[in-house]
Chains A and B, each alone.
Chain A
């Protein structure tokens, strides 16, 4: 209550300053009038009575000030007065203000942009209830490398483990959504076990969740849609629940729609979910035992990650007869558990940390630069401070004034920063590589604004502190005495230290950018193993519904499929501008990764120590279309499609790791399910025969090591892939041909979706996306840092030349040639620059280890980069010194002597 009245009284005083002042003046006047009147009644003449009243009561103005300054509002008023004063000062120093606001704006804006990316990905919990209990589970292959999980293992763990409230499995699914009269569309989707959404802790907002009954073999075909798909394809009508949609030619009943706010972190692009319908306790030779699923779990409340891990190891080491395990899924040491957040952010974490470090460096440079500029200004304002000091402003009052001024400056910088951050965040999202998780959660939200505001305050205080302490340190007396600009001293030393700091920070950023640039260059100059120029690829799918509807069996379906792809190939080959065309089951650098175990005749009876080999089922023309060089033997041909030995072409690295120094041609091999049949005790599959060896091709990324790979002609693999990539070598620009290619494919069947249209050159470029992303940001930061460092050097030298005009004049009067003076000033600048470079090189050597995982083909201590960057910085420093040095060399002696 009392506080409230004090607040109201103070607010009234603030908002009605004029009338409260008048009231107070009236009251004081009344007091003195009455005092005088009393003296007059005591017999004094009127003027003497007035004087007596004043003697007794004191100076009326002082009384006024005393009363006025007693309330809390006075502090606020002083602050506002300081702010007004600062604004006037800054408005007068336009050049300084512009540079300072721009510098701070760049620093704070960049920090806000990086923060808004780091916050949702690394700091904020995933958008699920009790997200810290969400875990991701991985299996390991025979070599101990992380691998996907097989349903069989999932089933055993789900039955036996007690650590998890829910466990779920998911597989990526790309069904074609077809409807009469609409262009067929390939959707991103997931097939999941019944508890998938319960594990995440999110329920559909319309309809119902999956139940166990939906997830049994030959169960009902049911689907849950994303809100986005509902809005995009079904007009947002939630009456869709209960109706059916056609996916891959099969009717699915829509049972639910996920809320608009639902973010599917494991596969952000997914728009449809259906059930896996795996068979528990399935025989080994089924897809239930293939390592292709992703596994998630929700820990029970109170169970820690390490407890869960310990339980999984225990279960893995103690098989039971109830749950038999095949040799390729032994659950040795159980499954590995990570938090879901760690799992989804793992690939991008190094890049984000590196960017966080880079933006800290940039912000530091900006602060140092402003502190430097402020110091230079403080030098010019010495007279002003001395005057105010002499007029009674205490040291603290001056410090407060300076701090207010730098706060005003940083608030302006912060505002400019937010203006710059808005397009900055959009640019970052646009640049973001596909691996960046939660990219839709990246925006300038409340957290980013608070961050920027906090940062602005800290920067304001830090930047203001240096000149403020500088002023507070100086006795007003000595300052007044040494009013002239002849004396320099401590302030220049401080400024020199700041410039050295600035140069060294800029150098660290430049080294980072340089290393990334060389990595990207190395990556892009890595031979992918094929010739990407003038090749375009389209993913073509055969939905197969009509064949199935005709009561077709598996083998007949496969031959129908084969016919479809053949007809597409014929249609495309006949087009003008097409040199050659072929199909492949997986396309290099596209994200496809399809591997199978392999066994050679030499290996029989020995435990396999190889990882999986990449499987390419291709048309015979694939090698010539992609220009994959043949190393030994022969390529696949049309005759390999017909009966006889199954011919296989392997990659050089396959030949090396399986056959060593033996001649690979004529060797016998078996792959994946063929070996499985053998180990399960079935009839042995006949051996395939190696007929040729081709060059290694980069499949996962340009940075990946060469993987073992084998090529089989289409029609000879155990099944026909229904999704294949068409690769087309064209004359001239490949992209131009895309519309015509689509027409040609649809001329065979207008109901088949076409997706993932990309030139191979585009895929090669995208393979370096993460490095390019980091490079783009590092490069921008480094460029800004370089400019700021140059401005810093220029500023210090320029100020120093102004301060030393008289000395320089004396020197030239005593016979120093202009070149001597030029050298003098240049040397001063270069000493600063070189000191900064040396410190910066040491700093970079310590810090660039953080970039390690982003680098390719260069070490963090790459000498070329370090030397190059040092040279660049020294050259920039010389350029920055040139202006002041030339000015110094041409100082007019007479003018200089007259300067004071």
Chain B
């Protein structure tokens, strides 16, 4: 078996990725997964089980709102959007991530 590159989302960052993606426009689950994959150029792949679990959790936390729309093939589709609290959460998580990622980057540079 050849070594496949790890496409798992870095633990703890899935919430941030979802919030960021939804900050642009309301979107359904598959859209979010596809967009994370595209923007990360295939570095991250999101599996539907984790994604939908995270969406349920974020919605219950009050960071997401959802509404049902009828899709083109007349099936029901659930669209998520960011709430005001979600936007605040995104800001604080972004800041937190930037600070920590910067620190890790500096450490790696110093090592090199």
In this assembly, does A30 line the interface, its C-beta being within 8 Å of a C-beta of chain B? yes
A2 and B33 CA atoms in complex are apart in Å by: 25
Question: In the complex, which residues 45-72 of chain A have their Cβ closer than 8 Å to any Cβ of chain B?
Answer: 57-58, 62-63, 66-67, 70-71
Contact partner of A63 among B34, B48, B62, CB < 8 A? B48
In this assembly, does A33 line the interface, its C-beta being within 8 Å of a C-beta of chain B? yes
A35 and B33 CA atoms in complex are apart in Å by: 10
Closest to A9 in B: B60
Complex contact A30–B77 (CB within 8 A): yes
In this assembly, does A1 line the interface, its C-beta being within 8 Å of a C-beta of chain B? yes
Complex contact A70–B56 (CB within 8 A): yes
CB neighbours (8 Å) of B34 from chain A are 38
Contact partner of B78 among A10, A30, A33, A38, CB < 8 A? A30
Kindly supply a per-residue 1/0 record for chain A positions 730-774, scoring 1 wherever the CB is within 8 Å of any chain B CB and 0 otherwise. 000000000000000000000000000000000000000000000
* Chain A interface residue bracket vs B: 20 to 34
Complex contact B62–A67 (CB within 8 A): no
A538 and B33 CA atoms in complex are apart in Å by: 98
CB neighbours (8 Å) of B29 from chain A are 27, 30-31
Contact partner of B52 among A5, A6, A27, A33, CB < 8 A? A27
Contact partner of B56 among A30, A33, A35, A67, CB < 8 A? A67
In this assembly, does A211 line the interface, its C-beta being within 8 Å of a C-beta of chain B? no
Asked whether A30 and B47 contact (CB < 8 A) given A5-B60, A23-B78, the answer is: no
Report B49 CB to chain A, min CB distance, Å.
4
The tally of residues in B whose CB lies under 8 Å from a CB in A reads: 25
A235 and B34 CA atoms in complex are apart in Å by: 85
Complex contact B75–A29 (CB within 8 A): yes
CB neighbours (8 Å) of A474 from chain B are none
Complex contact A57–B48 (CB within 8 A): yes
Kindly supply a per-residue 1/0 record for chain A positions 6-18, scoring 1 wherever the CB is within 8 Å of any chain B CB and 0 otherwise. 1001100000000
In this assembly, does A28 line the interface, its C-beta being within 8 Å of a C-beta of chain B? yes
Asked whether A34 and B48 contact (CB < 8 A) given A1-B62, A5-B62, A70-B56, the answer is: no
Complex contact B53–A33 (CB within 8 A): no
Complex contact B73–A33 (CB within 8 A): yes
Contact partner of B49 among A27, A30, A62, CB < 8 A? A62
Complex contact A28–B73 (CB within 8 A): no
Contact partner of A30 among B53, B61, B76, CB < 8 A? B76
In this assembly, does B28 line the interface, its C-beta being within 8 Å of a C-beta of chain A? yes
Complex contact A30–B75 (CB within 8 A): yes
In this assembly, does A384 line the interface, its C-beta being within 8 Å of a C-beta of chain B? no
In this assembly, does B30 line the interface, its C-beta being within 8 Å of a C-beta of chain A? yes
CB neighbours (8 Å) of B71 from chain A are 30, 33
Contact partner of B62 among A2, A35, A66, CB < 8 A? A2
In this assembly, does A862 line the interface, its C-beta being within 8 Å of a C-beta of chain B? no
Complex contact A58–B49 (CB within 8 A): yes
Report B2 CB to chain A, min CB distance, Å.
18
Kindly supply a per-residue 1/0 record for chain A positions 774-799, scoring 1 wherever the CB is within 8 Å of any chain B CB and 0 otherwise. 00000000000000000000000000
Complex contact B56–A71 (CB within 8 A): yes
Report B16 CB to chain A, min CB distance, Å.
17
Asked whether A67 and B52 contact (CB < 8 A) given A2-B62, A5-B61, the answer is: yes
A9 and B63 CA atoms in complex are apart in Å by: 13
Complex contact A24–B28 (CB within 8 A): no
CB neighbours (8 Å) of A38 from chain B are 34
A26 and B78 CA atoms in complex are apart in Å by: 8
Report B42 CB to chain A, min CB distance, Å.
12
CB neighbours (8 Å) of B52 from chain A are 24, 27-28, 31, 63, 66-67
Report A32 CB to chain B, min CB distance, Å.
8
Closest to B54 in A: A70
In this assembly, does B93 line the interface, its C-beta being within 8 Å of a C-beta of chain A? no
Contact partner of A70 among B28, B53, B73, CB < 8 A? B53
Complex contact A31–B75 (CB within 8 A): no
Report B77 CB to chain A, min CB distance, Å.
5
A30 and B53 CA atoms in complex are apart in Å by: 15
Most A CB contacts (10 A, CB to CB) among B29, B56, B68 go to B56
In this assembly, does B59 line the interface, its C-beta being within 8 Å of a C-beta of chain A? yes
CB neighbours (8 Å) of B73 from chain A are 33
A63 and B57 CA atoms in complex are apart in Å by: 15
Complex contact A35–B53 (CB within 8 A): no
CB neighbours (8 Å) of B59 from chain A are 9
A504 and B62 CA atoms in complex are apart in Å by: 61
Asked whether A66 and B53 contact (CB < 8 A) given A5-B62, A30-B28, A58-B48, the answer is: yes
CB neighbours (8 Å) of A71 from chain B are 56, 60
A66 and B30 CA atoms in complex are apart in Å by: 17
CB neighbours (8 Å) of B75 from chain A are 26, 29-30, 33
Closest to B63 in A: A2
A869 and B28 CA atoms in complex are apart in Å by: 79
CB neighbours (8 Å) of B77 from chain A are 27, 30
With contacts A26-B78, A27-B78, A33-B75 known, what are 10 further pairs, Cβ within 8 A?
A: A23-B68, A26-B76, A27-B52, A30-B77, A31-B33, A33-B71, A66-B50, A67-B52, A67-B53, A67-B56
The 8 closest A-B pairs by CB, nearest first: A34-B30, A66-B49, A9-B60, A63-B49, A70-B53, A31-B30, A6-B60, A57-B48
**9 contacts across the A-B interface (CB closer than 8 A):** A2-B61, A5-B61, A5-B62, A9-B56, A10-B60, A27-B29, A27-B77, A31-B28, A34-B31
B residues whose Cβ falls under 8 Å from a Cβ of A? 28-31, 33-34, 47-50, 52-53, 56-57, 59-62, 68, 71, 73, 75-78
